[in-house]
Amino acid sequence: MGTMGGMLLTGGWARLARRWLAWLALLVVSASAGIAVALLVTPMQTVTVAGQVIQVGASAPSLACPARDRSTCSARACRPT
């Protein structure tokens, strides 16, 4: 790859942009996979609130909004279907 007066020749900027975008995509995919795995392996924790014993923990990653689907919630805890 040659330069002329400190500027990259034709195609150099595009190649550099593609390389940066590829690294950015790899970073986003790696971070997403790491977060998903961490959520899956997080253990349940037992908590006592106002005399009630409940177990809380992370739920599996989902693209659905759980607040909109109230049918999966019970009086004790909200559990994914």
Asked if residue 61 belongs to a domain, the reply is: yes
Asked if residue 3 belongs to a domain, the reply is: no
What global pTM score does this model have? 0.49
Q: What is the pLDDT of residues 3-58, one digit of tens each?
A: 555 555 567 888 888 999 999 999 999 999 998 888 888 888 888 889 888 888 77
Asked if residue 81 belongs to a domain, the reply is: no
Burial bucket for residue 58 (CB in 10 Å: 0-12, 13-18, 19+): middle
Do residues 44 and 57 make contact, with C-beta atoms less than 8 angstroms apart?
yes
Do residues 64 and 80 make contact, with C-beta atoms less than 8 angstroms apart?
no
Our count of domains for the chain comes to: 1
Domain hosting 15: range is 11-72
